[in-house]
Amino acid sequence: MKTYNISGTSSTRIYYLFRCDDQNRPSTMQTDESYALNEYDEVYKLKGELDAKGINYDLLIERFNLDNDEVLSNDYIVQDNYKNN
């Protein structure tokens, strides 16, 4: 995973994150799965797969501070994970 120095004093990771609790998700997929920003093609391939199968999931860009072990922000692209049964 690529680490970006945002403020000059802390290390911040920025990455795509899938959250998927749907029981019908692909067997190779974890409930929380992250991808580097440069893995755009893989992210949208998986997104297309999930959409085609009607699987509920969240897809977001997360900013995480490694120094404080804290999520700085979540920018949602898809927010449907809460609809799982």
Q: What is the pLDDT of residues 27-44, one digit of tens each?
A: 999 999 999 999 999 999
Q: What is the pLDDT of residues 48-58, one digit of tens each?
A: 999 999 999 99
**Residue 16: other Cβ atoms inside 10 A:** 21
Q: Is 79 a residue whose pLDDT tops 60? A: yes
Q: Is 25 a residue whose pLDDT tops 90? A: yes
**∠ Cα 59 2 80 (to 5°):** 5
Q: pTM score, two decimals?
A: 0.85
Where are any strands of DSSP class E within the chain? 3-4, 12-19, 32-36, 58-65, 70-79
**CB within 8 Å of 13: residues ≥ 6 apart:** 1, 2, 3, 4, 62, 63, 64, 66
Domain membership of residue 31 as a residue range: 3-83
User: What is the structure's pLDDT at 27?
Assistant: 93
How many domains are there within the chain? 1
